A and B are shown apart, each in its own frame.
Chain A
């Protein structure tokens, strides 16, 4: 297995009229070919911002203020626009949540799926269209030749998501970033799309970075998980190990908030309060205000993400949780 994507110490700030928000803080992870890493977290935890920074698609108000994003060994943050585009255009595919706003409503989908071939491989219109039809067939769009002439609104949500996936994998990227790819879809369609992503990942030895808030999706799809809270990774490791024996109180709280795990009629063990406003993240450990284990040290010292046997948790009491 080779490391396809390596993110090291990535930090992103957003400039707002009232000050600077540190939305991604010193985030590191890596994912190898044919593997799936899930970035798991609740809204505002910085998982999408991390993905956008990796993909080079940050909003102008946001800025990468540190770190490296190595795609097959090359730090794309060091490259100029043209070089980055030449490398990351084919090398890194992206699928977003909302397929309706991502597709161009006034262009035939065949032309849109053909676009990567036209731009990056300088193919002629006809040849690119042929490749697009093949690709649409591969992602499970029935009658692809006829459907290539249709417009996005003539497709269902699931079919639109298939189109986005087709575009994202067109140039055989080594890394595919999927940001909540099934959140807007119904359960039975969600299962189809996850299956398609898993098949493509295996077939093309892609590294898949799955950004999601859904613990069950992570449990079923990912090899490794990185749990984010208030802009930082608080726990990371192989999914089964992390979910079976979480070492960070936040991961624990999340897992016990899932209704499936609780006995019927029993109250769910929820986490107190709600995720912090990024303008007012608590000092020290950002989770301490909601944490049942919080002590004085949590306020004064930010816990480091320390690795112990292939896993890591940023908690002063990680050892106690491990032994518990």
Chain B
């Protein structure tokens, strides 16, 4: 499958009050047509910066982005405009991301004011109705304002609006984390249906591991600006190779507690990205760390960037720190 979206060696540094914060520190990523890539990590790991870079809202200091083989950062004028159309975003907050002065129809049709040729003007009203129906709303909802909708319905409007420009990729940044559980399931089902029907690819950012496990074909785990593990979702979830992934999976509460499973409880919190540890960034919290981890950045091999990748999970359980508050 030719890759739709490919990023290599992305580096992005921000300057903040005299400090240099390396939000992305050499990130590789690829996304195929119609595929869902789950992006997982704790706050400050750089997942939002990565999303913003792929959307061309940030220009990387180093590295390349290729979209169908084309570097979007080199595009100008009409070509740039048509690229913009192909990558859309669904935001986390369905309350803050919709203009309260526009009706649902105006919100959904707004992209066509920029991408004029996409839908002929005489077809637009009908197309809004189609989109509303596609996301599970009614054509009569077109004249209503965002305030008149519930959180889940607003998120549907956000999705319809992203679909209006007929994108190839939708970046979903925590699309269901502001929603109640019962509504969350409806929106996840909708996203899955739309992918089947339209073949759109998702970059699905979430802190909720059970959601990512359900929706993603592949998953990338980030820690302090780097992808530390990546692979097919089931493989990564069932047999994590990076200690951080193992700890993250074990820390997430689960509905059906596994009998006899020992929980890995990491000590400390994620270090500040302003002053990250040398070598492997996870080494300060890792129970397997050796001298080499402080000296050499572990290369990505067989899907994990670790000098001492886990080979079987019994060993993880035996060696991991547990039951320490």
Contacts and interface: CB of A to CB of B under 8 A. Distances in A.
Contact of A274 (B151, B210, B214, B266): B151
A271 to B, nearest CB: 4
Given A188-B251, A216-B253, A216-B255, A270 B263 contact: no
Contacts of B121: none
Consensus secondary structure, chain A interface: helix
B150 A255 contact: no
B247 A188 contact: yes
A219 B252 contact: no
A295 interface: no
A150 interface: no
Contact of B214 (A213, A215, A255, A259): A259
Interface in A265-300: 265, 267-271, 274-275, 290
A271 B188 CA distance: 12
B213 A259 contact: yes
Consensus secondary structure, chain B interface: helix
Interface size class of A (residues with CB under 8 A): 35 or more
Contact of B255 (A189, A191, A219, A267): A219
Contacts of A191: 250-253, 263, 265-266
Contacts of A261: 255-256
A42 B210 CA distance: 18
B180 A275 contact: yes
Contacts of B49: none
Interface string A195-228: 1100100000000000001111101110000000
Given A42-B180, A267-B189, A268-B189, A217 B253 contact: yes
Given A259-B211, A270-B184, A270-B189, 14 more contacts: A42-B181, A187-B248, A188-B248, A192-B266, A192-B325, A195-B324, A215-B255, A243-B255, A254-B181, A257-B182, A257-B185, A260-B210, A267-B192, A274-B180
13 contacts: A186-B270, A187-B42, A188-B248, A188-B270, A191-B253, A257-B184, A259-B211, A260-B255, A262-B214, A264-B233, A268-B185, A268-B214, A270-B185
Interface of A: 42-43, 140, 156, 158-159, 186-192, 194-196, 199, 213-217, 219-221, 243, 253-262, 264-265, 267-271, 274-275, 290
